[in-house]
Amino acid sequence: MGIMPTISSPREGVIVVVDANRNKGNMEALEWALKYVVRPRDAIVVLGVLYDLAGKNNNSCFPLNMGITISGIWERLEFSLSGHGGEVRPRQLGQEIQRKRDQYQICIQPFYRQCRRNQVKLEVKLAAGYCPAKITVDEAQNNTNTRWIVLDSHLKKHKDYIYEHVGCSLAIMKSKDLATLMCLKVPPPPPPPPRNSNSSYNDETPQTPSWQPLSWRIGFPRPFDLREVEDITNGFSDESLIGELDHVRIYLGILQETPVVLKSFPENDERYWSMLMILSRIRHRNIMNLVGYCCNGESRFILTDYPCFGSVEANLLVDESARKLSWKARWHIALEIGGSLRYLHEECDDGPIAHLSLSSSHIVFSHSFSPMLCNFVTAKWVKDDQSLAEWPYLEEDVRDYGMFLVELITGKSARLFSNEEDGHPQSLVEWAVPLLKEESSIRQVVDPRLTNMTDDCWAVHHMAQAALLCLNNSSKSTITQVIHLQLLISLNQPNTHKSKLDIHLIFIQTLGQVLAVLRGHQLAIFKC
């Protein structure tokens, strides 16, 4: 008997299974899940398993299920004496359950606030007297939308049984920020249906939410030899070549019946090594991750996942697909890409990474229609030992993110925008920003193809506020002045490490405030 299902909505689910027998509440698995696999509007169940509470005496009333919320508003207890002899000792059991309940409420509280910001539903359940493997499988089967199960490192011995009995991917924690992935085995796709001129991306959306790109499967990313690359691209045929940009040839190939993108660099192109070094260090659900690489003689290739539904720019340029990107959908896209940018700036272990080409043309939709940041050809890794002149690159990313928000609001491409004011050409930002500053004129710039401004006006308002914060000229000057001030200080001090740290904190506060405004936090908006 499993715990009663609690996720009745169409939200996709992530189950985090932790060993509740550990003396101290350890939420590394939950932290990892929120960082790498949980998406906005997902539902998380933290399943704490007390599988050895009875001890050797076996005098208990197991098995027992208890569900708790953070506020402690509701509980569900189920008792069964089946298979457990001996007398029931409710006082001892109650004390232990209460202790665990209090412990979990304290441990979960910070994550609850984070989930609420991202509209993620978080629930906590305690199960006593059950086999961890079987109760996990039951929980996954109760929720048919489960996409991932994240397993505490203390429960890794159950991974094979769980993996064989569930239809989702499995992650087994190894350390604080490292997990072994056992991704869903993807069956060969059925033959594609005949297409007609009226088909759209919604016709091709996969019915299974657990589809996984190659970069997340077992054994990837990995090195490839030249023969493998030739097989993937059908001998570098003209049909496989889909474009060339700045001397980088781009191919579309098939690997394990899954489409992949290959970028071919000239032999002495330093961008290859820079891009490979960056992509090999990052992993995020909203970044076009590395599948593999090939360095053989004069050949230089980087393989990444294939964006099945094109770029945001391409979807905005077609009226039919643009109408399907509602205001709420565009707000979610903005939030997820903002999260990936913040990951690059603040959460990479080896130092911040500046993308330097963020725009609607470099944000693509994956097979599951999640937005993915791509094109790291111009990205820069801001190492700790680099000069202070490198740090303004992070500011450039923030400004580009503001421009992307304007693209989402207006439904226009900044790259292709054309307008004149008094005979002078205007950029998209120059045209839109003055109108976004006035509440009465916002309707002049919003995408006219979306008519539902009444219910979703909050999404437009939050995106506009965040865009203005990114593009505010006075704010930019302030940051630049501080950087110059820190540079002057560093010239008079032999140790510049503190100065660099101060600059990094400035960028953290700026991007963090932008995302807070995008989510609609009143305090952040007030401070703007």
| Helical spans, DSSP H, in 199-342 | 201-204, 226-232, 270-279, 312-317, 319-324, 327-342
Chain-centroid distance of CA 519 in Å reads: 16
Q: Find how far residue 333's CA is from the centre of its chain.
A: 11
Cis, bond preceding 190 (omega within 30 deg of 0): no
Cβ atoms 37, 179 nearer than 8 A? no
Instruction: Give me the pLDDT at residue 23, please.
Output: 61
214-305: which CATH topology? Phosphorylase Kinase; domain 1 (3.30.200)
Q: Which CATH superfamily is domain 312-527 in?
A: Transferase(Phosphotransferase) domain 1 (1.10.510.10)
Per-residue model confidence as pLDDT tens for the chain (528 residues): 444 444 334 578 899 999 887 765 578 889 888 888 888 888 899 888 876 654 444 433 344 444 444 333 233 333 333 334 444 355 555 666 677 777 777 777 788 778 887 788 888 888 777 789 988 998 888 877 888 899 998 898 999 899 888 888 888 998 877 888 887 654 444 444 444 444 343 433 333 333 567 888 888 899 999 999 999 999 999 999 998 988 899 999 999 888 999 999 998 899 999 999 999 889 888 999 999 999 987 889 999 998 878 999 999 999 999 999 999 999 999 999 999 998 998 888 788 899 999 999 999 998 778 899 999 999 998 875 454 445 678 889 999 999 999 999 999 999 999 877 767 888 999 999 999 998 888 989 999 999 877 778 888 999 998 999 888 854 443 333 333 433 443 444 444 444 444 444 444 446 777 877 788 765 444 444
pLDDT given at position 235? 94
21 residue type, one letter: N
∠ at Cα 394 (392, 395), nearest 5°?
65
Structural domain boundaries in the chain = 13-182, 214-305, 312-527
pLDDT given for residue 359 in this prediction:
95
Amino acid 487: pLDDT: 40
Using DSSP's 3-state secondary structure scheme, residue 173 falls into strand
287: DSSP letter: B
Superfamily of the domain at 13-182: HUPs (3.40.50.620)
pTM of the model: 0.59
